[in-house]
Amino acid sequence: MTVDNDPTAHAEVSCIRAACRRLGTFCLSGCKIYTSCEPCPMCLGAIYWARLDGIYFANNRKDAAEAGFDDDFIYQELARPLAGRSVPIVSLLRDEALPVFRLWNEKTDKTEY
């Protein structure tokens, strides 16, 4: 992450990307992930999106915070309503955007996710 100046290059995300490339699929069901620390919210989201079957970790969130990797504020942010978050989040043009999902739902030659 810090070597590449990429805040998304956590080990779990990098591992998921590599596994998907190697296996030629975005669905990693049947696979498990082993990591040195409890996954942060981003990594946890990636694990769920990849449909992994299990997560095994050594250090927990508290251990990570004590080492300077404190993600607890993100968990707290996710629990807040959109209007109460520290980074402004504004919904725009929903009515104009909804037809895109309708078209996707009607598409017959799509790759289901």
Residues marked active site are found at: 12
- SS3 of 15-52: the string is HHHHHHHHHCCCCCCCCEEEEEECCCHHHHHHHHHHCC
Give residue 60's identity as a one-letter amino acid code: N
Give residue 53's identity as a one-letter amino acid code: D
Q: Which residues pair with 55 in a beta bridge?
A: 33
